[in-house]
Amino acid sequence: MKKARLFLAVAALLAAAAGALAAESRLVDSVVAVVGREPILQSDLLQDIGPQIQDIRKTATSQEQFAAEVDKALEQALEAAIEYNILYREAVTAGIEVKDNDVESRLDTIRKQYETGEAFAAALADAGTTVGDFRERVRRQIMASAMAMRKRLDFEKEVVVTEEDMSRHYQDHKSDFEHPARMQVRRIFIPAGADARARIEALRGELELGADFAEAARAQSQGPEAKEGGLVGWVKAGDMVAELDAVLAGLKPGETSGVVETEFGFHLLKVEAREDAGLTPYDKARQEIEPLLRKQRVDERYKKWMGTLRQRGNVRILN
């Protein structure tokens, strides 16, 4: 899609916001691409990026920045719409169906991306569409996504990654497997509050009496890693806030810190293991390499397949 056409869509949005929607409706409804005999309208694209436009409007510091960022979003939305149209036709041929509950669930998720229900309704009205029409578009998009997933799963079953493939990748990309000195860390976190220090001190006492750190983290921590037993994972110097970083530097594997206070609350830290800077050995690296190569090959096959469908589908982007 050409920049000039995209900017017209942006101009239409700006005009609509100023109360000139009726005068600009012809621009919003213009056809920007055709897949076979199926048109893609500017209004289709504007529906797809409605929540993005809201976010861009809040952060843009000028009309020019707003227009440029919406242009970019529209270009991406056009490519997605073309792919969805192609995949939808494949889904129909493959007999893929979608349950009404799945459509309503997706529609509800989209509604929640708008600040209010009224804002969602207004966006549909601005684009000249109805909830029923939009619901059908959502159904088609779900069918298209299901078709894409089915094809990717088919490709994944066909892909073979050999030991030789993984070894060659390791040798060719050794720098990717170099790492600095690092430590594996668990954390218990209690956010700042009236009894936060008393609670964390009590937990520290339980740990000193032999309580398991991971179990205590699952039961008591309020950090995002609580469900994983407080496992933060591998960190290097500077990855955590200064107060925690300083304490971790002095802990040996298996040791637990005293209570550490930050502006966010109170923490207990445990270092599970330490590794010096070095190269991850192949036996360990191959666990990362195999899924990486598999995904790359699936992506290549999928891209080639989509390219064939696009040629067959007679895709035309209008100037």
Alpha helix (H) residue ranges in the chain: 3-17, 21-28, 42-48, 50-59, 63-94, 100-112, 117-126, 131-158, 163-172, 196-208, 213-220, 242-249, 282-312
The answer to whether position 114 is within a domain reads yes
Contacts of 196 (CB under 8 A, 6+ apart): 190, 265, 266
> Using one digit for the tens of pLDDT, what is the confidence trace for 104-128?
999 999 888 888 888 888 888 877 7
Q: What is the pLDDT of residues 275-290, one digit of tens each?
A: 999 999 999 999 999 9
Asked if the structure places residue 264 within a domain, the reply is yes
pLDDT at 319: 64
State residue 119's pLDDT score: 86
Could you tell me if 116 and 202 lie in one domain? no
- Whether residue 193 sits in one domain with residue 134: no
What pLDDT is recorded for position 49? 87
Average pLDDT, stretch 15-28?
Answer: 39
Average pLDDT over residues 225-229: 96
CA separation for the pair 21, 18 (Å, rounded): 8
Is 10 among the domain residues?
A: yes
143 & 265 share domain: no
Query: What pLDDT does residue 114 have?
Result: 85
Residue 135: pLDDT band with limits 50, 70, 90:
very high
Are 269 and 311 contained in the same domain?
A: no
Q: Is the confidence at residue 7, as pLDDT, over 70?
A: no
**Structural domain that includes position 209:** 181-276
DSSP symbol at 132: H
Tens of pLDDT, residues 289-300: 999 999 999 999
- CATH number of the structural domain spanning residue 256: 3.10.50.40
pLDDT for residue 263:
94
Q: What share of the chain in percent tops pLDDT 90? A: 68
